[in-house]
Structure 1
Amino acid sequence: MDNSTLEDTATISKIHFITTKPTGEECGELCDSAETDMDIGNTNDFEVAIAVSDYDTERVGYGCRIFAPGTEYGGIIGDIESISGTRKVALRGRTWRGMLEYKVVEPPAGQDHLTLSGELNTVIRTLIGDRFGGLFVVPEADTGITVNNWRVDRYATLYDALQKLVDNYGCRLQICYVQPEGLEYGYVTVQAVPIVDYSERLEYSQEEGIYVTVRDCRNGVNHLVCVGEGEKQDRVVLHLYVQKNGTIGKKQYYIGLNEISAVYNYSSAEADKLEEDGTKRLKELQNYKKCKMTIDNADLEIGDIVAGYDAVTNTQVIKPVIQKVLKIQGGKTTIDYSVKGEDE
């Protein structure tokens, strides 16, 4: 059981972006000259390059929104660069998901943790609160899932807190820009929805005429020496080992020539935190499988599960989508999907 990565590239019909004033009033579609690179799930940011002749501070200035209606693609412009050599202007900013990464959830005064209970979307609504004014809205949709005494990690980012919450209850975070009828101002919906498992009915492989490349790496780290707080002989040291089935434990399985070791230095960590973070690190370093594919007409969301298969190596990868990168260049729109996680 190894770490695995699956990457898809989907060529789709052009996505149309709309811009707004900083107040949210729509200004029409983004100019045809725009070249877009938008990352959702990893860096959670975007860059849009337009011709200098198309630059308008009211439509694409600081604080202006850019969005593709009914999708998660969008964000707020916060970084502008004029590139005189190319006669272009680069518009950059954080996506809606990225904006969640720049809010911090603090424990209430006098308490060790913020503890929440209630229907899942209601809990999400409590976590988001009024941090974004009226821009982010949690729909009144009942998931049928009840959260009981959920402890939020101390000083976690809002995004990490939300992601950990929905992961725990087997859901994904759905983010979408909505254009309400009769209103000039749109808003971003954030809610928990069921994960769609495409692997049960669809498996991408060469047999469908899809280009598939599989890499199976079996020389990853299997012994991680974790070093925490303290000095010299009093330093906290923890040994973590990859087991035969790919899980992480404290009993060594691989020895001699098969042992591959590395050091994880976290000088401020106590034993419990050292074990938690060391386990995450070892999962990143251990054996892995990668499957890269080029497919057409895919429409996947962060958290959905997909499968890829290579007949030559008889390798199957079944993983949730963790990243989408949308690119628009020369009128052609593509979306790269990446999937990574520990085999079940």
Structure 2
Amino acid sequence: MEMIVTDIPEEKELMFITAKSTGEEYGELNKTAKVDLDNGDTNDFEIRLPKSEWDRESIGYKGRVYIPGTEYGGIVKNIESISESNEVVFSGPTWRGMLEYKVVEPPLGQEHLILSGELNETLKTLIGDRFEDLFAVSAENTGVQVQNWSVDRYVTLYDAIMKLLDQYGYRLDIKYIQPEGLEYGYVQIGAKEKKILNEEYDQECSINLDIEDYRAGVNHLVCAGEGENQDRTILHLYVQEDGTIGDEQYYYGLDEVAAVYIFTSADANQLRQDGTKRLKDLQNYKKCQMTIEDVDLEIGDIVAGYDEVTDTTVMKPIKKKILKINDGQLTIDYEVKGDD
């Protein structure tokens, strides 16, 4: 099945807060600000403000920008002044993005870092004091015990965490905590069970599937390469029952759909490589567009749906969330993970 992408715009009443590098809250981000924040892909943010609406105290280098109680936020690492548009542009990594800029190394004299213990406790071991007092790991007991988990050598902290959590069916939960009183805020991370969303279990949401089940594709590709006449390199490639490409014919008679692929300069190896790629483009496929409304999901949560006509079940995890604010209007788009 081809990649499934979903755009799920939601109108939200959420407000960004700015704070000093120490975590001391300054106030709400000016409503004239334009925000573009990506979690799950580039893991960064950009904020545009008219110069007339900016002051140095409200937001600057190493300053924090966040929506309390959510994952939306990060630290300002770059400031750009644009004369033509009379804007100031602030950008930097999101909290999720900051995890990508730390590397997990094996302990001295050991081949791998080995983790054991309750799941959140292992996250605490991975995080350590890498972020000083900005990051804290949830004290919640998941009930999941990790046994001798071997962390890959020299990987980003983010990749190490995601691989570990995925192994146990959990996702990474991130939220900025803003305590009441004089205490300064911090980023809390922890392990949460993945939510599986479908209309059977959640009648409040609306899942719409648009599925194309294409079965007129080519299943036999005759590949012609270098040489002439009887000396020409000829290769027959066939689609198997499970959709893979092989050398044995599976479809015959009316079920066979054949085509020719000509690559006159290709030797046998090149012809097989390019012919296989070509046949994959020509064979049967299913294409699905999924949209979801009235729901709030996090990266790693799973969306499921079923189409009776094509007898197709779709189950894909959320891989990206993009938050945008433009002219005071806030929208959140989701994208689900597709087959590569």
Q: What range describes the TM-score normalised by the shorter chain of this pair?
A: 0.7 to 0.9
Larger radius of gyration: 2
Match of residue 201 from structure 2: 201
- Distance in 2 separating the partners of 1:58 and 1:164: 40
Aligned pairs for 1:33-72 within 5 A: 33-72=32-71
Partner amino acid, structure 2, of 1:166: L
Task: Return 329-338 or 196-205, whichever deviates more.
Answer: 196-205
- Could you say if the C-alpha distance between residues 142 and 3 of structure 1 is closer, same or farther in structure 2, counting changes exceeding 3 Å? farther
Match of residue 12 from structure 1: 11
CA contact (8 A) 2:323 2:331 kept: yes
- Distance in 2 separating the partners of 1:338 and 1:20: 30
- Distance in 1 separating the partners of 2:105 and 2:129: 15
The DSSP-based 3-state class of the residue aligned with 2:325 is: strand
- Could you say if the C-alpha distance between residues 150 and 24 of structure 1 is closer, same or farther in structure 2, counting changes exceeding 3 Å? same
Deviations 1:185-217 (A, max 9, x none): 100011001111112524899xx6x87654668
Partner amino acid, structure 2, of 1:291: Q
Q: Does 1:291 align with 2:294?
A: no
The DSSP-based 3-state class of the residue aligned with 2:47 is: strand
TM-score relative to the length of structure 1: 0.76
Match of residue 111 from structure 2: 112
Aligned pairs for 1:292-311 within 5 A: 292-293=290-291, 295-308=292-305
CA contact (8 A) 1:17 1:29 kept: yes
- Could you say if the C-alpha distance between residues 155 and 297 of structure 1 is closer, same or farther in structure 2, counting changes exceeding 3 Å? same
The DSSP-based 3-state class of the residue aligned with 2:10 is: strand
Aligned pairs for 1:75-94 within 5 A: 75-94=74-93
- Could you say if the C-alpha distance between residues 288 and 204 of structure 1 is closer, same or farther in structure 2, counting changes exceeding 3 Å? farther
Aligned-pair identity in percent equals 51
CA contact (8 A) 2:5 2:338 kept: no
Partner amino acid, structure 2, of 1:14: E
The DSSP-based 3-state class of the residue aligned with 1:62 is: coil
- Distance in 1 separating the partners of 2:338 and 2:171: 15
Q: Does 1:26 align with 2:25?
A: yes
Runs of 5+ unmatched residues, structure 1: 221-240, 264-281
Shift of 1:317: 2.3
* Count of residues in Structure 1 that have an aligned counterpart in Structure 2: 295
Partner amino acid, structure 2, of 1:180: P
- Could you say if the C-alpha distance between residues 8 and 183 of structure 1 is closer, same or farther in structure 2, counting changes exceeding 3 Å? same
- Could you say if the C-alpha distance between residues 85 and 126 of structure 1 is closer, same or farther in structure 2, counting changes exceeding 3 Å? same
TM-score relative to the length of structure 2: 0.77
- Could you say if the C-alpha distance between residues 120 and 257 of structure 1 is closer, same or farther in structure 2, counting changes exceeding 3 Å? farther
Match of residue 278 from structure 1: none
Shift of 1:54: 1.7
Task: Return 183-192 or 94-103, whichever deviates more.
Answer: 183-192
CA contact (8 A) 1:291 1:317 kept: no
Q: Does 1:168 align with 2:164?
A: no
